A and B are shown apart, each in its own frame.
Chain A
Amino acid sequence: MSPKTLYDKIWDAHVAHEAEDGTCLLYIDRHLVHEVTSPQAFEGLRMTGRSVRAPDKTIAVPDHNVPTTLDRLNGIENPESRIQVEALDRNARDFGVHYYPVSDVRQGIVHIVGPEQGWTLPGMTVVCGDSHTATHGAFGALAHGIGTSEVEHVLATQTLIQKKSKNMKVEITGKLAPGVTAKDITLTVIGKTGTAGGTGYVIEYCGEAIRDLSMEGRMTVCNMAIEGGARAGLIAPDEKTFAYCMGRPHAPKGAQWEAALAWWKTLYSDDDAHWDKVVTIRGEDIAPVVTWGTSPEDVLPITASVPAPQDFTGGKVDAAKRALDYMGLTAGTPLAEVPIDAVFIGSCTNGRIEDLRAAAAILKGRKVKEGLRAMIVPGSGLVRAQAEEEGLAEIFQQAGFEWRLAGCSMCLAMNPDQLSPGERCAATSNRNFEGRQGRGGRTHLMSPAMAAAAAVTGRLTDVRELMG
């Protein structure tokens, strides 16, 4: 048998039908659903009299619109948000899919809830009407975002019409330096390959620095595969993956666990498998980074200065000019001297327990700089509960952070958590697009530790200044 990549293996195990031109029906093992991209899909089913083919493999949770303030169970004030969440309530009930309503402690960001509940397992195909579905690739699951028409297609048929992507290997060799995290890896890769570098590929991340990451860190890396243009990122499952999955509510048990494990252990890229593209980065060369512009590829080490448009070529010259103007930055300013107004720690990129621990390690015994607005939004109700149990919540509150309930929150500002025009935010989320966190808001992406450090000093900060 010819050698295969991990992607090849998962793909081959899920082809339910292949047409002569190579168009396949890929069987979908898990379909995650949230309130923003699904109402039109369920409506489509109603209009055509179709049903959900596999409600048992369909999991719904409201996250994008939900308020994160403590009074949210009194109801959602914004009428449109309320209608969307109510539509999901009704659709989940009418079509009989698994559901975690706002009142359930397990509610949270869909990409955090899936793995937490054991829905996401190695070797699966996972889709969701959300581009950050790539997150689930950390388990060695083929996971990608789809549009609403495709959501309807999967609801009705449990398959997706797909053609195979190309294989790209991103290897991070060696060890990471102190202060450097999974977020710095994933941003550095995008800085190197560009936001379109992964278009048409499925990326497999590998190498010692990736192996050394926890499952939380691996999810952070895969989460942003989409920012690099790849629909999916993968990491081969290993003992850490199996340990994370074991005992989760929807993970297999007993003899089925053993059978699953036996298959999962075959899920790796063969030594001489073919790669269409290979990128190698030395772990030692990765620094704590921040973004300076309005594209996730606008990445620089925190020790660098704001670039000038003429540092670039092609269409990027104009893009950089526009970005600097939007961001209110002057070329040549050291990044570590840029003052900030707000800090947001959370999102499906960095809203897991390990992220909160990293932030707490910096914030312990310190205070948020006066006048700064700082918010921590855990990725799920269970992450929130665990952080409270570990005493992290107390550290955050004593430092002056708001301690919120779970949801997407200021990652995309569909709920009331938004930046005002011109407000500058240190954020652990994944997109720094114009207006992403509120019209005119300015976003700098970074790791949770870096965001915590910025909260303390009131400017973009090299976290290493505050370490040990």
Chain B
Amino acid sequence: MDKFDKLTGIAAPMPMINIDTDMIIPKQFLKTIKRSGLGVNLFDEMRYDADGNEIPGFVLNKAPYREAEILVAGDNFGCGSSREHAPWAIKDFGIRCVIAPSYADIFYNNCFKNGILPIALPQEQVDILMKDAERGANARITVDLEAQTVSTSDGETFSFDVDPFKKRCLMEGLDDIGLTMEKAASIDAYEAQQATSRPWV
């Protein structure tokens, strides 16, 4: 998995609440059997018209934000389905960090498995970052996972929470299946005990 430690980049502002996974990557793109190549279809139905032409007003179609590496959004980001295609598309576009007041829980987990850092901050702080993001290439936001901070272009800094285990996996790019397999003895023991206590399983 890709590591994440520090990032300074252009942030795209999307001040909408309840941005759902169907918006992030509509279902017609779930038919792939690969993880890559979904970036061009990120936010497809907001980004392109029915003929496939770019809609100029959409944020990711505007000059500085085509290079966005951070997304600042409204409450309950990533609600809806469990499709990991959503973080795959975000990452493939080049976005490595999302900042929002809150996330749907499956999406939040899926981000960490793909080298994306989702940061939850109080609404007032997201509002400040949103303003900064609206300044485009003139304002780069800095994210430091080690220190657990986000800084505006003016140097105003906010701290965020992250689960220590998730943080470690992201910073070191760890394969969590490999980590779990190291605990195979515990799983074996659990199965042996279950075979007597709940044999019908």
Contact = CB atoms under 8 A, between A and B. Distances in A.
B81 interface: yes
Contact of B109 (A147, A259, A316, A440): A147
Interface string B72-107: 001110011111100100000000000000111110
Contacts of A457: none
A170 interface: no
A40 B34 contact: yes
A424 to B, nearest CB: 18
Contacts of B171: none
A331 interface: no
Nearest to B114: A149
A307 to B, nearest CB: 16
Interface in A390-420: 412-414
Contacts of B176: 153, 161
Contacts of A435: 22-23, 26, 45
A149 B110 contact: yes
B181 interface: yes
B31 A146 contact: no
Contact of B82 (A124, A145, A196): A145
Contacts of A149: 84, 110, 113-114
Interface string A142-183: 001111111011001111010100000000000000000000
A36 interface: yes
Contact of B106 (A64, A146, A152, A263): A146
A39 B87 CA distance: 16
B40 to A, nearest CB: 16
Interface in B24-62: 26-28, 30-35, 45, 50
Interface stretch (B4-12, B132-140, B145-153, B192-200): B192-200
Contacts of A251: 200
A133 to B, nearest CB: 8
Contacts of B105: 199-200, 229, 231
In which size bucket is the chain B interface? 35 or more
A439 B165 contact: no
Contacts of B15: 315, 318
Interface stretch (A20-28, A102-110, A207-215, A445-453): A20-28
B147 to A, nearest CB: 19
Nearest to A27: B190
B150 to A, nearest CB: 20
A252 interface: yes
A196 B103 CA distance: 8
B194 to A, nearest CB: 7
A412 B27 contact: yes
Interface string A78-103: 10110110010000000000000000
Contacts of B80: 131, 431, 433
Nearest to A87: B33
Given A159-B180, A231-B106, A315-B75, A414 B200 contact: no
Given A37-B83, A200-B105, A421-B50, A16 B31 contact: no
A277 interface: no
Contacts of A147: 82-84, 87, 106, 109-110, 113
B76 A157 contact: no
A259 B106 contact: no
A13 B190 CA distance: 10
Nearest to A30: B201
A439 B45 contact: yes
A130 B82 contact: yes
Contacts of B189: 16
B102 A414 contact: no
Nearest to A29: B201
A433 B180 contact: no
B47 to A, nearest CB: 12
A224 to B, nearest CB: 12
Contacts of B35: 40, 148
A144 B104 CA distance: 13
B187 A159 contact: yes
B155 interface: no
Contact of B16 (A39, A195, A319, A440): A319
Contacts of A144: 106
Interface string B119-133: 000000000000000
A221 B23 CA distance: 25
A50 interface: yes
B81 A130 contact: yes
19 contacts: A25-B187, A83-B31, A121-B200, A123-B198, A124-B201, A145-B106, A146-B109, A148-B110, A156-B177, A157-B180, A159-B180, A199-B76, A199-B102, A252-B200, A260-B198, A295-B18, A431-B81, A433-B22, A439-B45
Interface of B: 15-18, 20, 22-23, 26-28, 30-35, 45, 50, 74-76, 79-84, 87, 102-106, 109-110, 113-114, 163-165, 176-177, 180-181, 183-184, 186-187, 189-191, 194, 198-201
Can you list the 4 inter-chain pairs with the closest CB atoms, starting with the nearest?
A252-B200, A149-B113, A80-B31, A315-B17
